[in-house]
Amino acid sequence: MIKTPLRILLVEDNEADVLITRRNLQKLIENPTIEVVEDLSSCKQKLINFIPDLVISDYNLPTCTGLEVMQLVQARSPGLPFIFLTGTVHDEELAANTILAGASGFILKKHMSQLEEKLKPLLNKVVFMMSEKQDVRERLRQNKIAINQIYDYLDNLKADNKEQKENINKIKGTIRDINLWKNGDDSEA
């Protein structure tokens, strides 16, 4: 059993699959925190305020595709592990393409009875990549939440004129530069 507490964002619209996935994750992880959403807007809000360690997403959702979810995740949190868990993709080429597009893993729902076995190596990889101590990870998470909320606020701010728009972009640039300097890269922006 994985002792490291993991924060998991599950993007899934089928309640039965949510229950099965949640149960299997709880078998593998001692105290997981699992948030469930089923659309891009809710996913974006969780990326801003929840800051998951891992995203698991269905491929076909009512209002979007799993690829759109993955693109959103990659744009908001580059390098965040992303696993597809889907029943509608039977094409091996498409599965390979999702991995090439940046997914960390791909599990077909027809293997739900073996989900625990299939998820275990992927989760172990996530934990291995999270080598920072818990308190450092939590401080980074809180800083990232604050930065994401500032970006979200600035994105939603209605700029009435060109000067205001330029000032907003300068503020964003300054925040990005400070974040790059503090972290040595842009993976936390």
| Domain end point (choices 129, 152, 171) | 129
pLDDT of residue 188: 41
> Is the entire prediction scored with pTM above 0.85?
no
pLDDT category of residue 186 using cuts at 50, 70 and 90: very low
Residue 32 shares a structural domain with residue 124: yes
Instruction: Give residue 130's identity as a one-letter amino acid code.
Output: M
Q: Hey, is 134 helix, strand or coil?
A: helix
Is residue 189 one of the residues assigned to a domain? no
pLDDT in tens, 67-123: 899 999 999 888 889 998 877 655 666 666 777 777 887 787 777 777 788 888 888
Residue 143 shares a structural domain with residue 158: yes
Overall number of domains in the chain:
2
Residue 124 shares a structural domain with residue 177: no
Task: Give the whole-angstrom CA distance, residue 119 versus residue 123.
Answer: 6
Q: Hey, is 13 helix, strand or coil?
A: coil
Q: What are phi and psi of 108, to 5 degrees?
A: -85, 140
- DSSP 8-state code for residue 132: S
Residue 41 shares a structural domain with residue 68: yes
Task: Give the whole-angstrom CA distance, residue 38 versus residue 122.
Answer: 22
